[in-house]
Amino acid sequence: MKRNDDTIVYSLIEKKYNHDASGKNIGLDHVLILDIFDDEETAYACIKTKCVEFEKNPCRMTYGYFASGVKNDGYYYEYMVISHLVVPRVSLKTIEIKTEYLDEKTLEKTRLFDEYTFYGNMNLTKEWYKMRYKSYHSIFTVYDNSVTFCDGTCKFIGYIAAIPITKELYDTISSGIIYDDINVNPNMFLKQSQYVYIPSIVLDEKYRNLGIGSMLFKKVLEKYNNHFLCGITISKNGFNLFKKYMQHKCNIMKDHDVFILDNTKNHE
């Protein structure tokens, strides 16, 4: 896997050591990055100029090049050229949100993020998911199009699920009677309903705190713009995100909180 705009660069580093009256090294004086190069040839040429006073060429190492010796000022120096990968900061321009139906392939993708949800330590089977979620249920998925794999697919980085439910289940969740939904009767998840439950919103850790969670949440609010919504959060990040868009109803236990939203009020 490689980010399409990853860049290999070569850093030239200088280390200078202090010494006592006898000439013995007693510790570092400084470590400096003297320059950064886009190509190995230029970096090698530059480190060679630094080694003229050593009267020897840099050695090839696994990470780049190395040279050391005493310069004319009497101090011991080390020079290194180190190659490393520079990964650009995530750009929201490469983030794409899709609507995908919960077929078997999509379910498998979402299960990669189970550790961040209620379901992480439950060892739930594929059958459990298929009993609850039907092929007519859809979720919003999010991809980073700047990261591609050998088969041409882009990196799947998260999703938000919002599923129609019965009023009975909505009232149960909203009242704080249950702190997770593992044992909820799957028949309470419907094809259509005025009541909607958000069981999970998860993102790859690298992509958090960039506004992507809000982008996903707004998609749900647009889709269910005349509905009653509820959800349970189990993390600080989840709590902060839900609090931006929904009403905090109650705390169930240590880090489980219930949120609700009457999204019909915006359309009266």
pLDDT tier for residue 146 given thresholds of 50, 70 and 90? confident
Q: Tell me which CATH homologous superfamily contains domain 92-267.
A: Gcn5-related N-acetyltransferase (GNAT) (3.40.630.30)
- Per residue in 117-144, pLDDT (tens digit) is 766 667 778 888 889 999 999 999 999 9
Residue 52 per-residue DSSP state: G
Give residue 4's pLDDT band: very low, low, confident or very high (50, 70, 90): very low
**Measured distance CA(131)–CA(110) in Å, rounded:** 16
Percentages of the chain per state (helix, strand, coil), in multiples of 5: 30, 40, 30
Query: Which pLDDT value is given to residue 126?
Result: 83
Predicted confidence at residue 222, as pLDDT, reads: 95
**What pLDDT shows up at residue 162?**
97
Residue 158's pLDDT band (boundaries 50, 70, 90)?
very high
What phi, psi does 46 have (nearest 5°)? Answer: -70, -40
Mean pLDDT of the chain: 86
Q: What does the alpha-carbon distance between residue 135 and residue 104 come to, in Å, rounded to a whole number?
A: 8
pLDDT at 266 (0 to 100): 60
Is it the case that residue 95 has pLDDT exceeding 90?
A: yes
pLDDT at res. 93: 87
Residue 20 pLDDT greater than 80, yes or no: no
Write down the pLDDT at residue 1.
Answer: 38
What are the pLDDT digits (tens) for 31-48?
Answer: 988 888 888 888 888 898
Q: Are strands 228-233 and 195-203 parallel, antiparallel or unpaired?
A: parallel
What pLDDT was estimated at residue 101?
Answer: 95
- 73 C-beta neighbours (distance < 10 Å), count: 8
CA 134-241-117 angle, 5° bins: 45
What is the domain partition of the chain in residue ranges?
A: 2-86, 92-267
Q: Percentage of residues in the chain with pLDDT exceeding 70?
A: 91
Q: Which of 216, 210, 202, 241 is nearest to 91 (CA)?
A: 210
